[in-house]
A and B are shown apart, each in its own frame.
Chain A
Amino acid sequence: MWRGCKLSSSGSRFLGSFKSVYRCTQADCHRLTTSAVCSKNQLGWTLQIKPWIFNEYGIMWFKSCSMNFACLNRMKSYRLPWIRAYSASRSTVDSREVKTFLALAHRWWDEQGVYAPLHSMNDLRVPFIRDNLLKTVANHQPGKPLSGMKILDVGCGGGLLTEPLGRLGASVIGIDPVDENIKTAQHHKSFDPVLDKRIDYRACSLEEIVEETAETFDAVVASEVVEHVLDLETFIQSCCQVLKPGGSLFITTINKTQLSYALGIVFSEQIAGIVPKGTHTWEKFVSPEKLESILESNGLSVQTVAGMLYNPFSGYWHWSESTSLNYAAYAVKSSVQEHSVPTKFALKGEREELRAEASTNSGTLMRASVLPLTWNTQH
């Protein structure tokens, strides 16, 4: 369900000015008038450079679109993204986003190519996932710290994050709506006999496998996915459904701030060409507060939110105190099954206990998320 938003006049002018200078497609104009603007809470300018190095502008001409995950099979009758949003379909995949990724499907594994920043992001996200999962087990096998865990990698792309998790011993299922991505991922893992056994790829959307894989995963990873999703609420609900009670959800995404627009869209895509044009849509960026509220309202207790920063000169990512650009979030599904009842009061004690555990993460610069209990009432 599309979160209908009021557009403040200043906001629309702000976006309108950008639109006239940088965007030129009809679809964009429509989308801007209905999209949510930066919330009043965003104050400082913070820099986010979404790191995708890309040279082929031609392919990207029609890519100024919102990227969602949608099942291609179901989306036969949709015409426009915002109309589709109100349709009865529960899928969260956008076929136009699928086309964007299709063009680059064979480039996933070039470590110095288009996806180089995603490769180097592994230096942050793999330890983030690994260390938080290790805290949930009493002891682990050295050499295979994640052995015995079942992980779902939603929007796995070419398997950039799936393979490291497999190497650490976990059984991973990677899903992606783009067929070509899955083919690339399958092909890449086929040469490694160990990974071949541990990883399973499927070309589908999350909603399709919710029924058959309900409550089977120890962890779900949705890295650089929620900013492409059509309906965040449904997506999170599906993630929650496939998680075991007490299971972990890992999300990395981009914040929705003025600076993330200026640097993440304008600078990275239009000027410097770091990110392919049209990869991201600022309206779909999710602020940590909004994400936390959705997570909490779905029975997922947020343990950690940590900012990430990319240095395009060195090509490395760093943890950061500020979540104004990229950030990573770690949430745990409550062990008690609660569906309709808001969980914030019932599980207050448990949440605080988990937060205390999370605050002693080793080696990474994180701040434990502080979620005031009154936040939900403002929304």
Chain B
Amino acid sequence: MAARLAGSRSGTALLAVQRGPLVSCRRWAGAAADTVYDVVVSGGGMVGAAMACALGHDIHFGDKKILLLEAGPKKVLGKLPETYSNRVSSISPGSATLLSSFGAWDHICNMRYRAFRRMQVWDACSEALITFDKDNLDDMGYIVENDVVMQALSKQLEAVSDRVTVLYKSKAVSFTWPYPFSMADSSPWVHITLGDGSTLQTKLLIGADGHNSGVRRAAGIRHVSWNYDQSAVVATLHLSEPTENNVAWQRFLPSGPIALLPWSDANHTDLVDSAGSMLQYVVAFLKPTKVSARQLPPSVARVDAKSRVLFPLGLGHAAEYVRPRLALIGDAAHRVHPLAGQGVNMGFGDISSLVHHLRTAAFNGKDLGSMSHLTGYETDRQRHNTALLAATDLLKRLYSTSATPLVLLRTWGLQATNAVSPLKEQIMAFASK
């Protein structure tokens, strides 16, 4: 077997690891009358639900049985609440493409979302700043509430309910892994026992159950993780002046980055809007504009009541993404600091890659749990995710200090990167996947 890289930035650097032993040694003897599913997705969050959706809508999975296990209750698809939820995600164009491939993006567009076109990031300890914007009129990304994404995914899951079964309030409590190859009287499938005692079997188990993944623990996959000495505070802010709210602002303070993500053009009427843009037009006419002129972020008027939330941050990376009949996607495989807005996008990228490999395997009549294509997925994604995790961790550590040499280093680095447009374009392209 080829060596696998454990992508971690810890002191252990990059190791070549062999597949570790399976932790749970209970083997299932004898076939049962359990249903044999082709794919079971454990965890019904954004990434898990999107995975089930993508498989359900794929034509090559026409006669396959897919199950999604979600521990929470079913959310009733009612009207959108007026107040904005404070859990939002930045969706990259690549993720938007994935979501539109099975029709969820249309639902999101019909609900609410916010596109942004520019991003400005600057340092608190120096004057260095970097701006990202796209020359063409494409959006750099979209800010969408997590609830909106979940609603859109639920609608699309219902559309393929003949192929995808969703079990709510079902948590997989134990797993039984198969032997490496068929031995007498041992079932080759993964056996899952649910909280209510029922059992089922599956040819491929996809773990999408978050950074404290039970699936990953049960499989005994080594996991590198540490907590940042930081927590994230999220709140909804109201701006004091009307603005064309399509720029994402981020400022690195020694205590941690602070970001303003555009949400809506609140607080202005049509009249003000048109007056505002006319003024801008006149101003631009009179004054020569510089490329990427430094803009000031809008000032905040007030914080939405009851919208503040605190959650701890950390980094995590699984040493292996796949085992025979098991694949990890989303936060179960990798957990990242939100400073680059990449967490859920990496998960959606995992979905694109895994669906691509599974679709080819299904069209070739292969056993879905076979390692030959699962390792292809792992290679693809570990390469991408390891780089991104390393870069994000590096940025976080670099900007957490106010020590002069490091401040100098990062100032020059930021200014240099800002000056080199091809490099910025490469960064944007990588982050947009």
Contact = CB atoms under 8 A, between A and B. Distances in A.
- The answer to whether A and B interact is yes
Interface of A: 109-113, 119-120, 122-123, 126-127, 130, 141-145, 163-169, 184, 187-188, 190-194
B63 interface: yes
B427 interface: no
A119 B361 CA distance: 13
B182 A109 contact: yes
Contacts of A109: 181-182
A111 B178 CA distance: 14
B180 interface: yes
B63 to A, nearest CB: 5
Chain B, interface residues (CB within 8 Å), range: 20 to 34
A319 B31 CA distance: 39
Nearest to A315: B372
B177 interface: no
Contacts of A123: 364
Given A141-B62, A143-B59, A111 B365 contact: no
B91 to A, nearest CB: 29
B366 A122 contact: yes
Given A110-B181, A111-B372, A164 B36 contact: no
Contacts, number: 66
A-B pairs, top 9 by smallest CB distance, nearest first, are: A143-B62, A164-B365, A142-B59, A167-B365, A110-B181, A168-B365, A109-B182, A143-B63, A109-B181
Given A127-B364, A163-B365, A191-B188, A169 B63 contact: yes
Main SS at interface, chain B: loop
Contact of B31 (A122, A164, A190): A190
Interface of B: 1, 31, 36, 59-64, 180-182, 184, 187-189, 203, 362-367, 370-372
A166 B365 contact: yes
B62 A191 contact: no
B432 to A, nearest CB: 29
19 contacts: A111-B370, A111-B371, A123-B364, A126-B364, A127-B364, A130-B363, A130-B364, A142-B60, A164-B364, A166-B365, A167-B366, A167-B367, A187-B182, A187-B184, A188-B188, A190-B31, A191-B31, A191-B188, A193-B36
Nearest to B366: A164
A166 B365 CA distance: 8
B213 to A, nearest CB: 26
A123 B365 CA distance: 10
Contacts of A194: 63
A355 to B, nearest CB: 26
A112 B1 contact: yes
Contacts of A130: 363-365
